[in-house]
Amino acid sequence: MKFFVDTADVEEIRALNALGLLDGVTTNPSLIAKSGRDMSEAIKEICDIVDGPVSAEVTATDYDGMMAEAEKLLAIADNVTIKVPLTEAGIQACHALSSKGVSVNVTLCFSVAQAILAAKAGAAYISPFVGRLDDIGQDGMELIQEICEIYDNYDFPTEVLVASIRNPIHVVASARMGAGVATVPPSVLRQMFKHPLTESGLAAFLADWKKTGQSIL
């Protein structure tokens, strides 16, 4: 499974990238606004940090506007992936861009039917939002399972990029279902390190070592 980090915080991205865990980054207008940065400058800096794809989202809602914004975003760096919403205009833009060899991430997916449309349009990634479905009483992970099954049935090359992840359980369940990518908030990625037995075991090892009076260096 590939790990993308879902943030526009450059310092967080730099720190997590140093761990060797990041395969890419996803951003959106809300994350850019939260960072307080100029969008183009933030995307450029992120692209300089990571080697993998960096999703930069259009804000236009019409086809012509999306295509114009995509052109500007693609000029920022070679590893920009264009992110479009799962609307008719978004799917049209996805088809046009992917036909030119542009990597497209279709976002705001909440149904299997929508995911099929994105794959047919040539999306490189489909982003189903599991946490937001959980919030309204639906099973977000069931959506991931169904999309993975259908994509496998037809050998669609579109990668399932699990988004709106709220906890490590979402990540593990996605991996078991065969999803290609999880885009994880920095806080959740750090939660994945944690286990009480790891912490207590390390404390015991260090206490025993201290009793020996030895030093490795």
Active site residues: 83
Taking a C-beta distance cutoff of 8 angstroms, is the pair 122, 99 a contact?
A: yes
Quickly list H helices, 86-195.
88-99, 112-120, 130-135, 140-154, 168-177, 186-191
| Packing angle, helices 112-120 and 140-154, rounded to 10 | 40
Distance from the Cα of residue 6 to its chain's centroid: 5
Q: What is the DSSP letter of 129?
A: B
| Packing angle, helices 88-99 and 112-120, rounded to 10 | 30
Sign of CA dihedral 139, 108, 13, 174: positive
Q: How far is 16 from 20, CA to CA, in rounded Å? A: 7
Taking a C-beta distance cutoff of 8 angstroms, is the pair 54, 46 a contact?
A: yes
CA distances from 192 to 14, 168, 172, 185 (A): 18, 6, 10, 11
